[in-house]
Every structure is written in C-alpha cells, then in structure tokens.
Structure 1
Amino acid sequence: MSTLVVIPARYASTRYPGKPLVPLRGATGESRTLIERSWQAARAVPGVDRVVVATDDARIRDAAEGVGAEVVMTPETCANGTERCAAAHAALGGGYEIVVNLQGDAPLTPPWFVSDLVAGLRADDGAEAATPVLRCDGRALNGFLQDRAGGRVGGTTAVFDRSRHALYFSKEVIPFTPARYDDTDATPVFHHVGVYAYRAAALAAYPGWAPGPLEGLEGLEQLRFLENGRAMLCVEVEARGRQFWELNNPEDVPRLEAMMQEMDIA
C-alpha cells in the first residue's frame, strides 16, 4: 500500500504559540527547530512514498522549505492535525492508501514506531485508523503523575480492548493503579504516542463527522473516531532503549534536550 506521511504544524497553539519554530539543542550543541527535527524523524522512516509538512502559516512554510521539506498549504479552518492531514491529502490529489499523521511536536519518534503502526493497520481489516502505544515503565509513569500533580499535561494515556481496539484516550493517567513503581518496573499504563495512520476513506470522512463532547473536553482529536463508532487500533511499540516525549509545554524543552543528550541525537 502506498504511504504518505504528513506533518501538520500550526503556529497558533493554545498552550505554546509558535511551537514549530522553537529551537531544540541536540547532543552536538547545534540547535534545530522543532519542525526541522520532525521532518528529519519522518524522513528516517523506511518504506514511505512521500513526506510533506502541512501548515497554514507562512513562517512555518518558510522554515520548513529552508531545510528542504515539501510543504502543502492548508486552510486556517482546520480544527486539528487530522483535519489538516485530510486537507493535505486532498490538495495532493489523493491516491495514497494510508496516510500517516506524524505530529510536529514529537521529534523523538523512532522510525520503527511508524513502520510498526502502518504494518498493524494493514493487518487489521476491522480498523479504520491506528495509533501507537508504549507501555510505561515506572520512570515514565511517575513523570506523568508528577506533571498532573503540578497541573501540567505530561502526555496522553490509552486503554484498549482484547482486540487492541481503543476504548478511551485521556490526558489524565488511566487506568488508575494504586501501586507505586520503581523506575525500571513495567506498569499497566500505556503512553499514547502522537502518531496516527488512517485508511484514506476514513481520513476523507473525518472532517464531516460532528465532534463529540469527549473530544471537546479532552482536546484529543482521535476521540472523534471513537465517538462516531469507528475502530482505532492501538499498536504496542517497543522503546528499544529510546526515550520518548512530546513538546507540549515550554517546560518540556529542557526535558527533550536532556533526552537528546542522553541518546546522542545531534
């Protein structure tokens, strides 16, 4: 199946305006913008036919094109990254069987997360979309709990059924567990990784579905699939020693930079 990767990026983020242009310093001391690092992450995925940045902002377009990225301009009216991916796919004339949404705030996404995601969707005829989940170790879970205690959103968690189809996603830490874990312990909590793969027909239909109350409360675009009775596959991925975090808040910048230092990412 032909695969398109879209990196949706907007300037007017509620929690962090201008986020795609934020510089992140790697292990060599060189700074690259978030959008450049996201572009590099997408280009590292094997078996992808095309990678584009989708934005409505000239500043992001110029920064992306300045590092060699292909850019598709999309309407300002796109409510979220999934709608922007749908607009980008349509602007390109369609024709791709699977469209991957590699959100522009997750530059540490390992390439095998995306490869495993696409393979999982191809293998599950009952799913219209798929997203990766990563089992939290104690270190990650404790970081989530500390963020929530401090009034910050540290990440999104996911719960799913025996077929691995999503039951719910939340910015709260779910499921509740009364246990406490050491840094290297496996936990029953799964971190939702902000990447999606869609079948083309489901992606084209998505902007026409009415957003539900849960999507509005959580601010999570993937809940529109669940609230409209559409199956989303959760594909468990392995960290393989890699750390992973999204850039959600200004406080995440030093956290990501420290991770890049530890993993020797330039």
Structure 2
Amino acid sequence: MKSVIFIPARYASSRYPGKPLVELTGADGVKKSLIQRSWEAAKAVDGVDAVYVLTDDDRIRDAALAFGADVLMTSSDARNGTERCAEGLAQLEGQPDVVVNLQGDAPLTPAWFIEDLLAAVAADEEVQMATPVLRCDKETLTNFVTDRLNSRVGGTTAAIRPDGKALYFSKEVLPYVGSLDNPPEVWHHVGVYAYRPKALAAYGSWPEGPLEKAEGLEQLRFLENGWPITCVPVEGRGRVFWELNNPIDVERIEAVLKQEGLS
C-alpha cells in the first residue's frame, strides 16, 4: 500500500497567526519551529513513501525548504487542511493508495499513532477515511476542562459508536464531565486523518456544512454528508499527546519535550 503524509500549514490562523513558525525548545535546549517538529514526527513513521509540507505562504515554504522538507504550494482558497490535501494530491505524478493528513500543530504525534492508523486502513478496503483517538488520562482531561472553563478552544473530543464509527467530534468536552474525580470515558481526537483518494475527491465537491462551520472541525463535513469515519484507538504508551492550539500550549509542549528527553 503506497502512502504519503501531507502536513498542511497556513500562516494566517485566526486564533494564532504565524503558528507554524513558532519556536519550541527541546530537551537539549535547541529551538525548532513547530512545522519542523511536525515534519520530524512524520519522517519517523515507518512504511511511508513520502512526506510533504503543504502551504500557500512563502515564509513557511522557505522555512520548510531550509530544514530539508519537500514542499507543495497550494492555493489560499483552501479553507482547511483536508481541502489543502486534495490540492496536494492533484499535484502528485502517481496516485497513492492512502493520504495521511498530519496537522502541522501536532509535533507530539508518536509514529505508532500513524502506523496503527495505516494498518487499520490497509486491513479493511471499505474504510474510506479514518482517524486515531486516544483515551484521555487525567492530565489531558484536566487540560481540556481547564481550557473550556477559561473560554479557550483547546483539543477535540470524539463520541464513538460501539462499532468504532464516529458519532460526533467537538471542541467541547464530550460526554459531559461532572467531576474529575470520577469522570466518564472521554476520547481525545488525534489530529491525523487517513483518506483514500476517493474520499478526498468527494470532500472537495461538498460545501462547508453548518456543523463544520460552527465547530471549526473539517472532519464533520464527512459526517454531515453521510460518510462514516472509522476511529482507531491508539495507545499513549506513557507519552503525553497535545496539540498547539493556543499560546499557552507552547509551555505545555515544551514541558513534554523536556520530560520525554525529546530534542
């Protein structure tokens, strides 16, 4: 199964402008940009044929080329990473079997998250789109609840059917957490997607739906149009996973880099 990883990155984020070029200090004291750390996470995945940074911004392109990444320029019309991935796919000479969308704000994504995702897609030809989910530990759930109490939009949670298909994704904490001492099972949605080319082509033909617009979550367009999303549970193996959504997350991610000895 031929697979590629696309890392969509845009400069003009409404919540955090210039986010891909924000520098994060590793355990060795070396500063690297968010986009470089996300690219390094992608390059660590086994069995992937190519990794590309997708952007419409010359500053991000130049930074990515400087640390050795392959770059595909996409239009400024792309409203989200999935639309940007569809544009990137159209530029490839040979069509891969699977395209992985690794968000450019998720440098703590372990390689095995993506490897498990690809294995799940390879095992079932009916799966057109899949995404990893991680059972929240107490620290992550506390971060979720704290962000919402302080009116910060943090990570995303997933509500999942018994058959492993997604019911819904939200920036709110789902289900409701009444107490952190005895919380319900909450699934943290990991910002990675695997699509077959057919799914990407379909996505580009649909307009933005009301739920996608309200939540700011691109994957909801699939659910709004009746396409199932397979949720693939992954194991943290002691690694803390968190995306960079807000300036406060820089400190959180740097603490994990130091704790895990990640350079």
Shorter-chain TM-score: what band? Answer: over 0.9
1:110-129 correspondence to structure 2 within 5 Å: 110-129=110-129
Quote the residue 2:89 is aligned against. Answer: 89
Deviation at 1:56, TM superposition (A): 0.4
Q: Distance in 2 between matches of 1:150 and 1:210?
A: 32
Are 2:82 and 2:218, in contact at CA under 8 Å, matched by a contact in 1?
Answer: yes
- Could you give the per-residue CA deviations for residues 53-86 of structure 1, whole angstroms, max 9, x where no partner exists? 0000000000000000000000110010000011
Partner of 2:240: 243
| TM-score w.r.t. length of structure 2 | 0.97
**Which residue of structure 2 lines up, in the alignment, with residue 209 of structure 1?**
206
1:93: Cα distance to partner? 3.1
Alpha-carbon separation, structure 2, partners of 1:177 and 1:24: 31
* Residues 116 and 187 of structure 1: CA distance in aligned 2, closer, same or farther (over 3 Å): farther
CA separation in 2, counterparts of 1:177 and 1:69? Answer: 41
SS at match of 1:188: coil
SS of the residue corresponding to residue 191 of structure 1 reads: strand
Q: CA deviation at 1:124?
A: 3.0
3-state SS of 1:221 partner: coil
- Residue 230 of structure 1 is matched in structure 2 by 227
Tell me the distance in 2 between the aligned counterparts of 1:124 and 1:14: 37
**Equivalent AA in structure 2 for residue 9 of structure 1:** A
Q: 1:36 & 1:72 partners in 2: Cα distance?
A: 15
- Offset at residue 180 of structure 1 (A): 2.6
Partner of 2:158: 158
8 Å CA contact 1:156–1:169 kept in 2: the answer is yes
**Per-residue Cα deviation, 1:77-98 (whole angstroms, up to 9, x for no partner):** 0010000011001111351010
Q: What residue is the counterpart of 2:24 in the other structure?
A: 24
Return the match for 1:258 from 240, 255, 258.
255
| Large movers: runs of 4+ above 3 Å | none
| 1:177, distance to aligned residue in structure 2 (A) | 3.5
Q: Distance in 2 between matches of 1:178 and 1:50?
A: 44
Query: Does structure 2 retain, via aligned residues, the 8 Å contact 1:126–1:231?
Result: no
Q: What is the RMSD computed on CA atoms of the aligned residues? A: 1.2
- Structure 2 matches for 1:19-98, cutoff 5 A? 19-98=19-98
**Amino-acid identity (%):** 59
One-letter code of the match for 1:99? V
Which residue identity is paired with 2:158?
A
Q: Give the Cα–Cα distance (whole angstroms) in 1 for the partners of residues 207 and 197 of structure 2.
A: 19
Q: Is the 8 A contact 1:138 1:187 kept in 2?
A: no
Q: Distance in 2 between matches of 1:132 and 1:26?
A: 25
CA contact (8 A) 2:27 2:262 kept: yes
Distance 1:80 1:94, change over 3 A: farther
Q: Which one-letter code corresponds to 1:170 in the other structure?
A: S
Taking a change above 3 Å as real, the CA distance of residues 181 and 93 of structure 1, as seen in their structure-2 partners, is farther
Query: What SS does the corresponding residue of 2:125 show, helix, strand or coil?
Result: coil
Q: CA deviation at 1:211?
A: 1.6
CA contact (8 A) 2:175 2:184 kept: no
Counterpart residue type for residue 88 of structure 1: G
| Number of the residue aligned with 2:109 | 109
> For the Cα contact (< 8 Å) 1:156–1:170, is it kept in 2?
yes
Structure 1: runs of 5 or more not aligned: none
Q: In 1, are the aligned partners of 2:166 and 2:228 still within 8 Å (CA)?
A: yes
- In structure 2, runs of 5+ residues without a counterpart are none
Taking structure 1 as the reference length, the TM-score comes to 0.96
1:20 partner letter? P
Q: 1:195 aligns with which of 187, 192, 195?
A: 192
Q: Give the distance between the partners of 2:241 and 2:177, measured in 1 at CA.
A: 22
1:28 and 1:177 map into 2 onto residues whose CA distance is 37
Counterpart CA distance in 2 for 1:232 and 1:127 is 8
Q: What amino acid maps onto 1:117 in structure 2?
A: L
In the alignment, is the contact (CA less than 8 A) between 1:4 and 1:51 conserved in 2?
A: yes
- Find the residue that maps to 1:89 and give its secondary structure: helix
